Chains A and B, each alone.
Chain A
């Protein structure tokens, strides 16, 4: 038996997922990488092992297949100490306005699936009396914008879920963190116009997630500037906000 702590990364093939796995592995944690295509995660597991000498396993996980969640949790060789969900789908707001299937996929990928799977782990962690759960939400969930409210509303739902879960789980010794990254240079944002000073690399988010677990933080804005930006945006009266091109 090894005594290393284990982190489960849901959405392990994303840039932030890979970065998060590296942040934990660097600190000596074993890693369970989960994603839709488990075989595609093998090179990342090998990378973590080669770099840090820890053990890394791969697992198939589809956030839209909620029926498989119980089996997924039961199928893990060991219950992790930390679970973090990096799963998300930006999608296309324009398409979602006309196409119910696309809108549904965005909503389910960013809210339903992540909330349900983290809820399941919360039960296990509470039964054990320890553990940390970190959900990656978004500053887009702080206020709906004309340009991405389907995605934003799903993230808002996820943030609210995490905040409620936190209130309940904290009494049972389980930590729940919400991480709001803002703009991140990843394949999801490739080709988008990002504002330089408000944009971070995926590894910064990975380190922030690790830091949230270490310090048992409630809500983390990865770049502190975003906390201020969103404070102002949230404070704008609706009458003003709806007139802004934003």
Chain B
């Protein structure tokens, strides 16, 4: 048995951690499991990557099967990390179409969570660039799924949180790029309304995201910095600049759990004031940023999840449909700022239509917040959830550790169809995670 947890370090669960090294060993693991799920690099925040009784670690499957430099098409094993793909193929002129806020996620995990990036509003999620998946189902079958072959299973696997089976391999399309640089433009917004208008105005930008100061209150509520970005062409680089500078290992590491004292309303307020002012000073013009700090600002601090102390933290990410979003997001931010133990910075961005049956994105605005685990946080987040549900929104499963069944069911109307597909693939219900157990498995152990 091993104590494992997601990136948020809550909850911590005792399960058998299996580490197969061949596809045959994956078969054996599935055959032997009494409720297990595949786990990639453990970057899902909550309990999505934890099996009920067994957890099947997939990081040993890190081989690239084939790569066609003419088309950017790549076939690879599910345990390959996005960081590995970026380091290997970036210098050869190819990057993933979609990257989340950390590059240390596996391909299998990125498919299972249908991760989104700063370009979801115009280019969709990770799953959109997946052409084929090799899947080992709970009944031990190996099936190839794509938009043509087993399309229902394909749509259920994109964003299906690993519950349709173990993803073994995938074929993806990579994006041809001339450089590893982003031309970034920063816009400062004095309140939430201005931030949302700036994001709307940035709809045509490939990348857009807003960092909200969620400590600011009153007329400053929702003040933010909006970052728009485009891939820089080779001709835009200054002379002598390297077209692709390699990603560095985190320069700063958090070696121990910080005492919960470190994060308080004064330190966070001071930090955010500084962050906002420095950003606002850069607003207006555009400049070049390497893809690494642009896409993965937090990867620069290794083990940043330890900042929240031993008890861990919860991330709350909701999406609110466009209509009425201003009022609902304003209400949420107001409660968060009054509560005072909010995250350093909240992230606000626009999403487009999701591709998978259970994909998180829907057209609207998504807000992501971090909270340290404390005694009163669960009730507080339940309150926020009621606002989300009333607005017709939903929560992101890759970051969830605590939402209620009712919240989940209200947010994911395709759940019934998903359950049917899952039942047909896995009649004896071998593939189960702590998340599925919490949110929708009928069979309780």
- Indicate if the CB atoms of B21 and A46 lie closer than 8 Å: no
Contact string, B48-63, partner A, CB cutoff 8 A, digits 1/0?
0000000000001001
A246 to B323, CA, bound (A): 68
Partner of B66, one of A44, A46, A187, A190: A46
A36-52 to B contact mask, C-beta < 8 Å, 1/0: 00000001101100111
Nearest opposing residue in chain A for B19, CB measure: A190
Q: Which residues of B contact A187 (CB under 8 A)?
A: 19, 21, 60
Interface residues on B, range: 10 to 19
Q: Give Cα A52 to B65, complex, Å.
A: 12
Query: Judging by beta carbons under 8 Å apart, are B64 and A51 in contact?
Result: yes
* Whole-angstrom CA separation of A44 from B74 in the bound complex: 15
> Which residues B56-94 have CB closer than 8 A to chain A?
60, 63-67, 69, 74, 88
Instruction: Please give the distance in Å from B67's CB to the nearest CB on chain A.
Output: 4
* A212–B35 CA distance with the chains assembled, in angstroms: 46
A-chain residues with CB within 8 Å of residue B21 when the two chains form the complex? 187
Structural contact, A46 and B19, CB atoms closer than 8 A: no
- Interface bin, chain A: 10 to 19
A43/B19 in contact, CB under 8 A: no
Q: Is the CB of A47 within 8 A of B19?
A: no
Is the pair A44, B63 in contact by a Cβ cutoff of 8 Å? Answer: yes
Q: How far is the CB of B258 from chain A (nearest CB, A)?
A: 19
Q: Shortest beta-carbon distance, A25 to chain B, in Å?
A: 10
Interface residues of A in 163-193 (CB under 8 A from B): 187, 190
Return chain B residues, CB-CB under 8 Å to A190.
19
The docked-state distance in angstroms from the alpha carbon of A43 to that of B77 is: 10
Question: What residue in chain A is nearest B21 (Cβ atoms)?
Answer: A187
Q: Which residues of A contact B (CB under 8 A)?
A: 43-44, 46-47, 50-53, 187, 190
> Could you list which residues of chain B lie within 8 angstroms of chain A, going by C-beta atoms?
19, 21, 60, 63-67, 69, 74, 88
6 further A-B contacts with Cβ under 8 Å, apart from A43-B63, A43-B65, A51-B64, are: A44-B63, A46-B66, A47-B64, A51-B88, A187-B60, A190-B19
* 24 A-B pairs whose Cβ atoms sit less than 8 Å apart in the complex: A43-B63, A43-B65, A44-B63, A46-B63, A46-B64, A46-B65, A46-B66, A47-B63, A47-B64, A47-B65, A50-B64, A50-B65, A50-B66, A50-B67, A50-B74, A51-B64, A51-B67, A51-B88, A52-B88, A53-B69, A187-B19, A187-B21, A187-B60, A190-B19
